[in-house]
Amino acid sequence: MNNIDFIDYKNSKSLVENFVKEVSTILKETLLKKENATLLVSGGNTPKLFFQELSKVKLDWNRVKIGLVDERWLLESNENSNAYLVKKYLIQKEASKASFIPLFLENKDCFSSDDLCSKLYKKEFLQTDILILGMGNDGHTASLFSKSKEIKDALNLNIKKFCISTNPITAPYDRMTLTLKSILESKNLFLHFQGKEKLEIYKKALKSENIYPISKILFNASKLKVYFSHE
Q: Is the pTM of this model over 0.85?
A: yes
Percent of the chain exceeding pLDDT 90 equals 100
CATH class of 4-225: alpha beta
The model's pLDDT over 118-168, given as tens digits with 9 standing for 90+, comes to 999 999 999 999 999 999 999 999 999 999 999 999 999 999 999 999 999
Percent of the chain exceeding pLDDT 70 equals 100
What is the DSSP secondary-structure string of the chain? -TTEEEEEESSHHHHHHHHHHHHHHHHHHHHHHSS-EEEEE--SSTTHHHHHHHTT--S-GGGEEEEESEEESS-TTSTTSHHHHHHHHTSSGGGGGSEE--S--TTS-GGG-HHHHHHHHHHHHTT-SEEEE---TTS-BTTB-TTSTTHHHHT-TT---SEEEE--SSSSS-EEEE-HHHHHT-SSEEEEEESHHHHHHHHHHTT-TTSSHHHHHHHH-SSEEEEEE--
Domain regions of the chain by residue span: 4-225
Mean local confidence (pLDDT), 96-118 = 97
Does residue 1 register a pLDDT over 90? no
